[in-house]
């Protein structure tokens, strides 16, 4: 007699848990996102207020804006996860199930990579409005008081952007945002899989949270190096102003060329430390929260044995 396949949670629950897991992780890593964005914008335009390092940036934020200042833009970060991560993880899970064999055999690595990149790009498109609000809210504190946008929260930001600049501004920088998502997903999939296998083969690790964390941090190093130039282009485009009817940058390539010309080649990796420090823990925390919610759902709703 064929073994009965275990009950699975509904697709809506998978989407919901994916978003909640990402939001839970964001609460812990939001200060790193803030520092990363400030570092990437440091030196942009005519600004003379520079951050020498990530620690200098963090110290400056704490000194001038207080402890609450390091959580500036949290509402936008949470909405970004509610849109981007919900779409990305939900779509990835659903497509993976569709492409699995009749006996539940998962598809090969290349198919997983294609699904991951497609899900990432789609999630990035859905999450771009929240991303634009996040970039602007986290950037506000580095501007002189007279030039600050002063958004009260993410919903105030979205409404004012639509009213003052038009609805299409919500998708400003959508191309680089989607490109970053594709690069991040491709780099993460390949490097995480290889890193985990290397650690397990070393004989010093078992397939547990410690192994997952270490593999995530190694993967984060590769992913950060690969995706940061695209990320800095995205950040500056989404934060730019239109002066006398002329935008600061024409496109992502224009951002990269101006950064290299005026700030140096290695400025393309400005904010590397907080970006890297955020990427690994955020991934680990997201999946820890996701696993715990799935376990609770199986136990209390599906009444399945642990």
Q: What is the pLDDT of residue 138?
A: 92
Q: What is the pLDDT of residue 2?
A: 45
Residue with tokens 């064999």: 101
Please state, in angstroms and rounded to a whole number, the distance separating the CA atoms of residues 285 and 288.
5
Encoded tokens for 104: 């539940």
Q: What is the pLDDT of residue 50?
A: 65
Residue 34 exposure: Cα atoms within 13 Å on the Cβ side = 29
Axis crossing angle, helix 86-99 with helix 109-139, rounded to the nearest 10: 170
Q: What is the pLDDT of residue 3?
A: 47
List of the chain residues with pLDDT < 50: 1-3, 5, 46, 48-49
Please state, in angstroms and rounded to a whole number, the distance separating the CA atoms of residues 244 and 220.
40
Strand partners, 149: none
Greatest CA span in the chain, whole angstroms? Answer: 75
Domain ranges of the chain: 11-291
Q: What is the pLDDT of residue 305?
A: 59
The CATH number of domain 11-291 is 1.50.40.10: yes
Q: Judge contact between 60 and 51, C-beta under 8 A.
A: yes
Encoded tokens for 186: 């491709």
Region class of 100: left (phi > 0), else alpha (psi between -120 and 50), else beta: beta
Please state, in angstroms and rounded to a whole number, the distance separating the CA atoms of residues 283 and 215.
11
């Amino acid at each position: 007699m064929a073994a009965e396949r275990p009950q699975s949670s509904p697709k809506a629950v998978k989407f919901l848990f994916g978003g909640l897991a990402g939001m839970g992780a964001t609460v812990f890593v939001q200060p790193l996102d803030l520092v990363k964005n400030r570092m990437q914008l440091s030196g942009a335009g005519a600004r003379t207020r520079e951050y020498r390092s990530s620690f200098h940036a963090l110290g400056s934020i704490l000194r001038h804006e207080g402890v609450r200042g390091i959580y500036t833009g949290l509402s936008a970060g949470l909405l970004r996860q509610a849109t981007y991560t919900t779409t990305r993880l939900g779509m990835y899970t659903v497509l993976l199930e569709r492409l699995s064999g009749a006996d539940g055999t998962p598809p090969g690595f290349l198919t997983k990579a294609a699904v991951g990149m497609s899900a990432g790009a789609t999630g990035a498109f859905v999450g771009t409005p929240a991303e634009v609000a996040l970039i602007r809210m986290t950037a506000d504190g580095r501007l002189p008081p007279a030039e600050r946008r002063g958004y009260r929260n993410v919903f105030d930001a979205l409404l004012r952007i639509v009213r003052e600049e038009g609805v299409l501004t919500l998708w400003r920088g959508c191309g680089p945002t989607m490109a970053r998502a594709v690069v991040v997903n491709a780099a993460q999939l390949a490097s995480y899989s290889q890193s985990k296998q290397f650690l397990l083969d070393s004989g010093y690790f078992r397939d547990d949270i410690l192994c997952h964390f270490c593999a995530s941090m190694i993967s984060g190093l590769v992913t950060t190096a690969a995706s940061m130039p695209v990320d800095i282009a995205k950040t500056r485009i989404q934060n730019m102003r239109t002066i006398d009817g002329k935008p600061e940058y024409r496109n992502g390539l224009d951002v990269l060329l101006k950064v290299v010309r005026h700030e140096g080649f290695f400025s393309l990796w400005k904010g590397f430390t907080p970006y890297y420090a955020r990427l690994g823990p955020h991934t680990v925390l997201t999946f820890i929260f996701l696993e715990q919610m799935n376990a609770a759902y199986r136990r209390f709703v599906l009444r399945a044995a642990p």
